[in-house]
Amino acid sequence: MTLFTFERYCDEIVDQTDQLRKTVRGADLSAPVPSCPDWTIGQLLRHVGGAHRWVETIVRTRAPGPIPQQEDHGLADDATEIDGWLAEGAAQLAGTLREAGTEAQMWTAVPGRTTLFWARRMVHETVVHRADAALAAGAEYPLATDVAVDALDEWMELGALPQLMELHPERRELLGPGRTLHLHATDTGPQTAAEWLVDLGGEAVTWRRAHEKAAVAVRGPVTDLLLLVYRRTPADHPGLEVLGDAELLDFWLERVAFG
């Protein structure tokens, strides 16, 4: 289930990339990225632009399986060149997605094989790395509420995929009776229903949008909740309130980390 139309996701790829470009304008491309310790800002931007081009190729060629990702994009450490390259890649990706439409079939990183998966994934890939860039550049990180909510929904969906248990058997250590977590956005209206209940009490990780008591609850602005699950913001961040079993929260975040 997604919150946005296919067209909205295509628009957001370009918009989020434009906001990323604005975030790093004037920044030192050699500066380290605290949330991605192995990268500089320049490397982060290459990663985002490379991901856009990788997915654009998959969609354009209707690739039946994964294709190699290009490591060296032939870019100098020139802010103007990288800025134009990012803008061009986002526009190409959005255009290719629109041309393919929602019925085209190709390889996807999870079951589904649709352009909608890639459109949504590339929006939130860019959203999260825009946060990385903001942290590195000391810039503000404005994020629309509905984008943050959809990003959290996607994170929950990906984190609950059964295939992840097969790929990462250690995640089974999360499962146990009474292990539940509740995320509650405090800056959205009731019509948004921005609350998530994660249930680890069965044979698999499950989640639902719900207002329910849990072993541990985290309350805070929806963007802070998003950055928490992506491990860009710590649980003791001033904007967040943790109630209940904080050790379970830490254990869960450690085991389900990705992105």
At 168 the three-state DSSP class reads coil
- Rounded Cα gap, residues 247 and 44, in angstroms: 31
CA distance 182 to 215: 8
Over the stretch 97-150, which tens digit does the pLDDT of each residue have?
999 999 899 999 888 889 999 999 999 999 999 999 999 999 999 999 999 999
Q: What pLDDT sits at residue 180?
A: 98
Residues in the chain: 259
Instruction: Check residue 1 and give its pLDDT.
Output: 63
Q: CATH class for domain 147-256?
A: alpha beta
Question: Which residue type, as a one-letter code, is found at position 155?
Answer: W
Ranges in the chain annotated CATH 1.20.120.450: 6-142
Give the separation between CA 26 and CA 79, rounded to whole angstroms.
Answer: 8
CATH topology of domain 6-142: Four Helix Bundle (Hemerythrin (Met), subunit A) (1.20.120)
pLDDT higher than threshold 90 for residue 2: no
In eight-state DSSP terms, residue 75 is -
Amino acid at 253: L
- CA–CA dist 206, 8 (Å, integer): 27
Closest C-alpha among 212, 103, 209, 214 to residue 157: 209
Q: Indicate the average pLDDT of the chain.
A: 94
Q: What is the pLDDT of residue 259?
A: 54
Domain with CATH 3.30.1050.10 in the chain: 147-256
Distance CA 240, CA 225 (A): 8
Cα separation, 115 vs 6, whole angstroms:
9
Q: How many percent of the chain have pLDDT more than 70? A: 99
Q: What would the two tokens of residue 207 be?
A: 């989640």
pLDDT band at 155 (very low <50, low <70, confident <90, very high): very high
Residue 189, judged by CB atoms within 10 A of its CB (0-12, 13-18, 19+), counts as: exposed
CA distances (Å), origin 206, targets 147, 155, 168, 201: 22, 12, 16, 9
Angstrom CA distances, 109 to 18, 66, 143, 176, 213, stand at 25, 8, 26, 28, 34
Using only the alpha carbons of the chain, give its radius of gyration.
Answer: 19
Question: What does pTM read for this prediction?
Answer: 0.95
Q: Collapse the DSSP code of 11 into the 3-class scheme (helix H, G, I; strand E, B; otherwise coil) and give the result.
A: helix
**Is residue 222 very low, low, confident or very high in pLDDT (cuts 50, 70, 90)?**
very high
